Every structure is written in C-alpha cells, then in structure tokens.
A and B are shown apart, each in its own frame.
Chain A
Amino acid sequence: DTGVSQDPRHKITKRGQNVTFRCDPISEHNRLYWYRQTLGQGPEFLTYFQNEAQLEKSRLLSDRFSAERPKGSFSTLEIQRTEQGDSAMYLCATATPVGKETQYFGPGTRLLVL
C-alpha cells in the first residue's frame, strides 16, 4: 500500500454513460498525475496537477475527459459519453515537490465499457 487510494476499484458501465473516478493522494504530495493503461501496455500519461492547477494535458485526453483537483487535495477524473475504447485501467500517481522524482501509484480503477 503506497498511501494513494483510488475509488472505485472497478467500474462497469454502458456505452454513453458518464463515469467519475476519485484519487486521494498522500497528504504532503502536491504533484498528482493521471495515467491510463490498456491491457499488455505500459501506462500512458493523461494529465498533471501541481496543487490545484492543471498544468499539462495529453492529446489522449479528448474533450470527453475532464479532471479536477479542488483545493489541491483529492482529484477526480470524469469521462462523459463513455465509449468501448475507454475501457482501461486508470491510475493515479502522486509525488512530492519537484526534486524528488519518484511517483507513488494508487491501485487503479479498472473501467469496462459495455
């Protein structure tokens, strides 16, 4: 257990529905990342927050995806109008202020879109 928690751990939804995932970081970690991992592949970067500011978004993050980190604590990732191609593991990782590059990953939320 790294200290990063994600909820839910599993989500099954029908195509077209909206889903929201939550990540709770280690308390002193001001940097928060979202990654997506499909079967047999390594994680791919989606977006980055430093405190409450979203500083970078990948081209993978289409306009159906939105992420927030109110007050610089927990973060949410919402997918609207889900598609079957959104099925993947969504991983959250957090890190201390720049200078220490190790990222601590949560257990992930596995999404299945039917």
Chain B
Amino acid sequence: SQQGEEDPQALSIQEGENATMNCSYKTSINNLQWYRQNSGRGLVHLILIRSNEREKHSGRLRVTLDTSKKSSSLLITASRAADTASYFCATGGAGGTSYGKLTFGQGTILTVHP
C-alpha cells in the first residue's frame, strides 16, 4: 500500500521558475528519500534526509522534513526543461525488521516548459 500522498499530482511551470512538491506520510520513519523517474524508466535517487534532520541541500535541490506533521517538501530551484519527470518521495521504516524497504507516494508529474 502507498505510504501517503504527494501534492500536487501534476505541476507545470516555465523554465527558470522554482518547483515545490510536498509529501505526507503516515507512520514513523527512519529516513525519507526523493527519487526521480523519467518516462518509462527506472528511478534515480536524488536526496535522503534522516528523521533527525530538518533540512538538506544538494545542488538545486532543497528538502525539508517535519516529523511532527509527517510531511516533507522538495524544492527545485531555477528549473530546466531537463527536470521534466515524475518525482516520488519514499520513506524508510523505523525498526529493525523494515530491512530498508521503501514505501513510495504516488508521485508528482513535473513538466518544465522551455
């Protein structure tokens, strides 16, 4: 079953604008990760934030995590047409028997127009 919701389901912006995607989840987590998927292809890992972290940066990406609200956001600054893809948040469960398996949201489809 899906862990939670992603918002918005689809986002359309112009090149150079910022894109913000939100993710909510339901259970306790060890970490939250964001992945990107180009149409019909596998997923590429973007960034990981641990449950004891509040914000993390990687290049044009900024991720925040609010464990009290069970939510996260991914900000892509100065977007490019090549950023067009589906973006998924995924949570890694807390507890020793989670084995690191990921529970994914439904994803946000981002379209960046040149």
Interface residue ranges, A against B (CB under 8 Å): 2, 4, 6, 31, 33, 35, 40-45, 48, 50, 55-56, 89, 91, 93, 95, 98, 101-108, 110
Contacts and interface: CB of A to CB of B under 8 A. Distances in A.
Tell me which of B48, B100, B103, B105 has the highest count of chain A C-beta atoms within 10 A of its own C-beta: B100
Contact of B106 (A41, A50, A56): A41
Nearest to B31: A101
Interface of B: 1-2, 30-31, 33, 35, 40-45, 48, 88, 90, 92, 97, 99-107
21 contacts: A2-B44, A33-B100, A33-B102, A42-B90, A42-B105, A42-B107, A43-B43, A43-B88, A45-B102, A48-B100, A91-B43, A93-B43, A93-B102, A101-B33, A101-B48, A101-B92, A102-B48, A103-B102, A105-B42, A105-B44, A108-B41
A101 B105 CA distance: 17
> What is the predominant secondary structure among interface residues of chain A facing chain B?
strand
Contacts of B48: 101-102
Nearest to A45: B101
Given A33-B101, A101-B100, A42 B88 contact: yes
A108 B100 contact: no
B49 to A, nearest CB: 11
Contacts of A101: 30-31, 33, 48, 92, 100
Contacts of B88: 42-43
Given A101-B31, A102-B45, 18 more contacts: A2-B42, A4-B42, A33-B101, A41-B2, A41-B107, A42-B90, A43-B88, A44-B1, A45-B101, A50-B99, A91-B42, A93-B43, A95-B100, A101-B48, A101-B92, A103-B45, A104-B45, A105-B45
